[in-house]
Amino acid sequence: MNDHNLDERTRLGAIVSGSLTRGVEVKLDASVSVEDMAVGRYVAIEGEKRRFFGMITDVSLEAIDSRVTITPPDISDPFIAQVVAGTTTYGKLRVLPMLTIGSDAVSILEGPQPAKTVPTHFSEVKLASQRDVELVFGAEDDKRFYVGTPLDMETKVCLDVSEFVKRSNGVFGKSGTGKTFLTCLLLIGILQKRAAVSLVFDMHSEYGWEGRNEKGYKVKGLKQLFPSKVAVFTLDEESSRWRKVSTDFVVKIGYDEIEPEDIELLRQTLNLTEASTQAVYQLAREFGDRKWLEAVLNLSEDNGKQLISKLNIHDSTYRNLRRGLETLRRFPFLVPHASDNSVQRILEYLERGINVVLEFGRFDDFAAYILVANLLSRRIYAQYREKAEKAGGADMALPHPLVITIEEAHRFLNPELSAQTIFGRIAREMRKYNVTLLVIDQRPSGIDDEVMSQLGTKITCLLDNERDVDSVFTGVTGKSELKSVLSKLETKQQALIFGHAVPMPVVIKTREYGSAESYKELGFLEAAELKRKAEKEIEDLWAT
């Protein structure tokens, strides 16, 4: 049987054994080719009292008589092959039942429920229908955003964005699997459904004005799609000008804004010793929290020697620290005193419901990224906390939810640093002050296990490192079965989603992003046509 003849009306086989935790085993009918089955596809099981919805997690070949595996029959004769397939050998599926779909009116209104039992022996198994998938994942509405389609189906799988922003979430996958475009889709969904306002720390300048796909073609960023709802901030005005990106604000950070904690976070990146990071606190006590960095950078060699003698700091420790601090001095966005308050500017935009993308331009190394993202987020979070506490005391509405997007998350959330960074605190607090994270990483094993277990929804593309795979499934029920599903994902445009924003784990082919058709599907065609028409009118005006 060919796959194109397989639909939801086709019986695949019957349940022969299994359990709720390990999954049930399905003996395939002789008329169904095992080659038409695929890990990650959905099936519906007709139990005696209810309908079950599950995912294929394994496909195997079985033989009734073990002798046939030792002395295989001659199947060159089609009749012999058909007899053997129907009597001696057969295909088997392992299916993980995840939800039950009631058949009566009350059950349908309640919606799919988590499976707490298994179907009876010999229950009939079919491929899940389009209607089953729609019933489970819901149709796109003011809360749900279409993110992709199940394998071998055209039905839309929707993410509940209102649930998604209630907790911190993660997007994982090895390099080249499409994490950036998947993240861009999620940010568009959050924006379109007005579930939260976003602050994106855009390390490689891909989300703001435009990015590039794997083939090098330009792809519209959030600012082009939502010109009135997105503001682009930059650390590198020259890079923005060169790329013809219209920016809303140029970020400058004063030496007086950098605290000893910021330097401690950069210990590995700046190659500082433990003694050097401790010396920073001594220097801050000596010169004051707001003056220490400028004072140290301006010290002459003789004054430096006198200072370290007074503070009992070893010469090699001081030299190690100076080398690290000189690295920071080379960043043009760091100035002795910033004329404008970047944190306040960002907050002003966020409070008006305008999403902020901070581009790093040429300063896409980890020292700049860690310093700026942590420093700004800590102050923005403090403001949100203050507003939330005041709102609670006055019985007022909380601030509009804020989602902070960070790349290379293991740099902030590894076991050594997660307790010190603001991001570790936000991840553990579970939206206490209406602030959550969207973390993006290709090395989830570098993230602290406690933080990973707090992530509400995880969207993972292909991972080929066993430690990374284990990390993604920290604290997840049925992880051995889901590991099998994850390992079979294609390199591009496929992802496994599981957690609070979906009713059950789902493997999707992610919706396209970057083509004219995809912009039209996202609802941007009219805006693009109006823009082209306006540009044409201006050209015609100048031509006359």
Instruction: Give the three-state DSSP class for 120.
Output: coil
26, 120, 228 from 473: Cα distances, Å: 26, 30, 39
Taking the CA atoms of the chain, what radius of gyration do you get in angstroms? 28
Gap between the Cα atoms of 215 and 226, Å rounded: 25
**Geometric angle at alpha carbon 493, from 487 and 495, rounded to 5°:** 45
* Per-chain mean pLDDT for the chain: 86
Q: Is the pLDDT confidence value at 539 over 80?
A: no
Buried b (16+ CB within 10 A) or exposed e, 450-465: bbbebbbbbbbbbbee
Q: Which two tokens stand for residue 53?
A: 């919805």
Q: What is the pLDDT of residues 6-61, one digit of tens each?
A: 666 679 999 999 998 889 999 999 888 888 898 888 999 999 888 899 999 999 98
Gap between the Cα atoms of 348 and 355, Å rounded: 10
The amino acid present at 156, given as its one-letter code, is K
Average pLDDT of the segment spanning 282-294 = 90
Average pLDDT of the segment spanning 537-544 = 50
**Geometric angle at alpha carbon 188, from 183 and 194, rounded to 5°:** 125
User: CB-based contacts of 262: which residues, under 8 Å, 6+ apart?
Assistant: 371, 374, 375
Gap between the Cα atoms of 223 and 355, Å rounded: 9
CA 367 to chain centre: 23
Pairing outcome for strands 494-499 and 457-460: antiparallel
CATH code reported for the domain at 159-250+340-513: 3.40.50.300
pTM given for the model: 0.86
Torsion angles phi and psi, residue 453, rounded to 5? -70, -20
Span of 112-121, 377-386, 475-484 with lowest mean pLDDT: 475-484
Instruction: Give the three-state DSSP class for 83.
Output: helix
Span of 289-298, 352-361, 398-407, 521-530 with lowest mean pLDDT: 521-530
Q: What is the pLDDT of residues 208-223, one digit of tens each?
A: 988 877 666 788 989 9
Q: What is the pLDDT of residues 308-334, one digit of tens each?
A: 999 999 999 999 999 999 999 899 999
Domain boundaries, the chain: 3-137, 159-250+340-513, 255-334, 517-544
Give the model's confidence band at 138: pLDDT under 50 very low, under 70 low, under 90 confident, else very high. Answer: confident
Span of 409-418, 419-428, 473-482, 498-507 with lowest mean pLDDT: 473-482
Torsion angles phi and psi, residue 401, rounded to 5? -55, 140
Gap between the Cα atoms of 446 and 433, Å rounded: 26
CB count, 10 Å around CB of 130? Answer: 14
pLDDT of residue 164: 95
1, 100, 199, 244, 402 from 7: Cα distances, Å: 12, 20, 44, 50, 43
Average pLDDT of the segment spanning 96-105 = 77
Give the model's confidence band at 530: pLDDT under 50 very low, under 70 low, under 90 confident, else very high. Answer: very low
Gap between the Cα atoms of 118 and 121, Å rounded: 9
Gap between the Cα atoms of 117 and 154, Å rounded: 29
